[in-house]
Amino acid sequence: MCGIAGAITTKPLDGARLLRVLDRMRSRGPDGCGHAVLPLGQRALSLMHTRLSIVDLDARSDQPFRKHGMTLIYNGEVYNYPELRDELKSLGAVFETTGDTEVILEAYRQWGTDAVKRFEGMWAFALHDPARDILLLSRDRFGEKPLYVWSRPDGFYFASEVKALAVMVGEKPGVNTGQIRRYLVNGYKSLYAAGETFYQGVVEFPAGSVAVIRDDGGVVPHSYWSVGYAPVEMTLEDAAAQTRDHVVNAIEYRLRADVPVAVRLSGGIDSNIIAGVAQNVLGRKVTAFSVLDDDPRYDETASIVRAVDYFGCDHHAIRIPKTGFLDRMERLIDYFDGPLMTISYYLHALVSEAIHEAGFKVSLGGTGADELFSGYYDHYLFWLASQKDRPDFENLVEEWRGTYGRFVRNPFLQNPRAFIERPAARDHIFLGAERFAGFLKEPFAEPHSEGHYSEDPLRGRMLNELFVETVPVMLHEDDLAAMAFSVENRAAFLDSRLAEFLSTVPTRHLVHGGLPKYLLRQAGQGIAAPDIMENPRKQGINAPVTNMIDVTDPTVRAAILDNSPFYDIVDRAKVETFLGQGTTLNSESKFLFSLISAKLFMDGAAAADL
């Protein structure tokens, strides 16, 4: 994990500015830094890199990495680098390092831009090839590693973080208030569908893409990977066995590091399977970190204690602090260059801080498992809709009532036939949007829309979430919550081979015996606590914001309601009334967090300091 930045300009960035960019990316790479200025056609290419040493800790793998006249800056991990290195050696390549950075460069030398199709991992890189007089940009399939681009009249800029773009350019990009409104009214699931960021003119380089850039700075990304639903007939037993093999391989790859790896452990099945595979299949010593809350709606203490007892692993428990919430939020938002999407990432940052303080540089988490294996409450109802013609359909409904259906709080999802009666209904996704729009000074209404990925109702939702609605947002937040404390976050299940296999599994196998994520639960049999594997309730890191902040405290209320550009778009009087009403619904608690997060972001964005 590292930080990268670059600029294609008429004149190279001066030395002082290069050093300032490196300083701004220090938390992404505290173990080393470097820069290079190279010709690209009639322009100058300035490249910057900060390093967090994970694989091949020697300075020989520092970046910018130069070989064969080419120069590479790279953020991420290519997990299958040992296999690729052996293949490249058989083709005549000679290696001077033992890490993955040199493998990327040699793979490009051998296979050109098609090299990225052979990589299994997470990355954002820029590779300068003087022989072709090009710069190659690429980003991993799921978008685990960030890459922002800003095309301006004076040049083309790219970086791991918006703050680095601002330093390179010498000014902050303007706040995109339309995206703020979208976030407040429709929530985080609406953000990537809009194709915008919280900054005017700044966009993300698309995941799963590569672009060849010449000195004119024109960028036309081309997709090199996609996955869709293409079922192949197989038995439930075959699906479960192959899933387990792929899950084990995916986790084994993501444990590759020359430094210790931590596991972010919740009471849910995803993180327990990660810990179970690591310890009980691969023989790796597990050190787990968990955040605990006293609220009975979210308290996972009993499940986490059960997991720790089962594994007998080292465990660090982090209690959610009851003070200092606004100060922590200000610091995190300053680093995130945007609002925190949900309170889960405030908690993720708490865990990352503890992981860093314990001396770890890498953590594993379960991001993407719900979208790959079908883990959300609405997924079960979409699955029921896909199975409506089965002769045992009424039995399936009763199974739902006795398991997942017992825990559903969203009123739109309490009818097991919801998507049979209204297949296109998506009321549950932007829950409360009309009410929340009433807080804005100007009208805002943007109905939910989704891409057409599959005729199968469940697979269509899962693929929308995987590529647009949830996973891109979670990966963005995962990266920042970890890198704020110089920790590399790895998503254990976002493996292309696993995703490709699951795309061939018939939908009917995704739920069984009243349990969603059935195939993943089966993968955990014998390696994680059985009662956790069989728990029908969805578990995850969460807590209400009112557990961390007392909005009746006059000092807190004054901080939330003080003068701000935020109140140019939001009605302050309505916020004040809202603070006095209390938040009894989960959607209200989430909206309160969004108000605070967006307000603090706009306060910080208005500051002059770069």
Cα(50)–Cα(488) distance, integer angstroms: 13
Cβ(59)–Cβ(98) under 8 Å? no
CB atoms within 10 A of CB 435: 12
CA distances, 577 to each of 182, 437, 568 (Å): 22, 15, 17
List the alpha helices (DSSP H) in 465-525.
471-483, 496-502, 518-523
Q: Are the beta carbons of 253 and 278 closer than 8 angstroms?
A: no
Distance CA 269, CA 372 (A): 14
Does residue 313 have an active-site annotation? no
d(CA 506, CA 428): 26
Question: Which residues are within 8 A (CB) of 277 and not within 5 positions of it... i.e. 6 or more apart?
Answer: 247, 248, 251, 252, 527
The residues, any chain, with a CB within 8 Å of residue 72's CB and separated by 6 or more, are: 63, 64, 65, 66, 101, 104, 105, 125, 126, 127, 128
Q: Are 520 and 538 in contact (CB under 8 A)?
A: no
Which two three-digit tokens encode residue 57? Answer: 């800790």
Q: What are phi and psi of 168, to 5 degrees?
A: -60, -45
Beta-carbon contacts of residue 263 (< 8 Å; ≥ 6 apart): 271, 274, 275, 278, 286, 287, 288, 289, 363, 364
Q: What residue type is 367 in one-letter code?
A: T
- 149 appears as a binding residue in the annotation: no
* Closest C-alpha to 517, from 496, 502, 529: 502
Q: Please indicate if the annotation marks 100 as binding a ligand.
A: yes
**DSSP string over 280-328:** IIS-PPPEEEEEE---TTT--HHHHHHHHHHHT-EEEEEEPPSS-HHHH
Residues forming a β-bridge with 39: 44
Distance separating alpha carbons of residues 152 and 545, to the nearest angstrom = 39
Catalytic residue among 2, 429, 528, 570: 2
Q: How many CA atoms lie within 13 A of 324 on its CB side?
A: 7
Euclidean distance between CA atoms 236 and 379, whole angstroms: 19
Q: Look-up: residue for tokens 């405030």?
A: 346
Kindly report the length of the chain. Answer: 610
Report the first-to-last Cα separation within the chain, whole angstroms: 24
- Residues with active-site annotation: 2
Binding positions for L-glutamine are: 100
